[in-house]
Amino acid sequence: MSGPVPGAGLLPLVRLLQLTSPALPVGAYTYSQGLEWAVECGRVRNETDAAQWIGDLLSCSLACFEAPLVACQMRAWAAGDDVALQRLNDDFLASRETSELRAETAQMGYSLVRLLVDLDAWSGLPGWSSRLQAIESPAFPTVWTAAATAWQVPVADALAAYLWAWLENQVMAALKAVPLGQSAGQRLLAGLGERIPELVASAVDLPEVEWSNYTPGLALASSRHETQYSRLFRS
């Protein structure tokens, strides 16, 4: 009798790694989401400050709004509910409180659409390109969830990877802006990364009436960053 084929069933994981890779050409590395201004004004001065700033956003914004929205969008893609997808996309755009944050998700969404429609491994899947291109002003999570769903990534795995990719980008921004060393970056990733399983568990089925991205500090930092004199990042 033949046994299980080694590596069978791993393709969704491989695709998920591709979606979260820093090599994904969407320009995520050019954005700090207000962190650069937090450094400029002295709010974030060291590793401890960076852990608090990034950790608060991870727990109070990403996990309470963006992650449950990602889960909901993946279910809508899978169910063929394009009306719900457009509504969720519009809700996400409306939740961006500054021009920089809105421009960020719009640019990253546009770049990922261009990549996917030119990528045979995705555009070759029947119906996906036409559905995605029918979304008006697609935000980054909308496009990202289209890719993850089409590639049959489990929802919980996708949420963990989505949060990880955001966390990694924020830590990389802190390394450049504070600045911090590579070892400090790894400590931040290890410590804050421990939160992700619990945050995914709470976000995956969070009712929409309980979603919240109430983070006034982020809104202030982002708005101040728009007129910051010297900048490395676009947000």
pLDDT tens string 52-73: 999 999 999 999 999 999 999 9
Q: Where do runs of H (alpha helix) occur along 118-154?
A: 120-123, 128-133, 140-150
Is pLDDT of 6 > 70?
no
Return all residues near 48 (Cβ < 8 A) that are at least 6 apart. none
Specify the higher pLDDT residue, 203 or 1: 203
Q: Which residues contact 80 (CB under 8 A, 6 or more apart)?
A: none
Report pLDDT digits (tens) over 157-192.
Answer: 999 999 999 999 999 999 999 999 999 999 999 999
pLDDT of 145 reads: 98
Inform me whether the pLDDT recorded for 80 exceeds 80: yes
7 conformational bin, left if phi > 0, alpha if psi -120 to 50, beta if neither:
left
| Predicted TM-score (pTM) of this structure | 0.96
Nearest to 68 by CA among 175, 216, 212: 212
Residue 34: how many other CB atoms lie within 10 Å: 28
Give dist(CA 61, CA 53) in Å, integer.
11
Question: What amino acid occupies position 136?
Answer: E
User: For residue 8, what pLDDT is reported?
Assistant: 56
Q: How far is CA 36 from CA 119, 149, 167, 170, 230, in A?
A: 34, 33, 15, 10, 10
Please write the tens of the pLDDT for every residue from 126-165: 999 999 999 999 999 999 999 999 999 999 999 999 999 9
Contact yes or no for 191/48 (Cβ under 8 A): no
What's residue 228's pLDDT? Answer: 87
Give the pLDDT confidence score for residue 229 in this predicted structure. 83
* Range with lowest mean pLDDT among 8-12, 193-197, 209-213, 224-228: 8-12
Whether the upstream peptide bond of residue 154 has omega within 30° of 0, thus cis, is: no
Q: Specify whether the CB–CB gap between 142 and 85 falls below 8 A.
A: yes
* Per-residue pLDDT, 133: 96
pLDDT for residue 2: 56
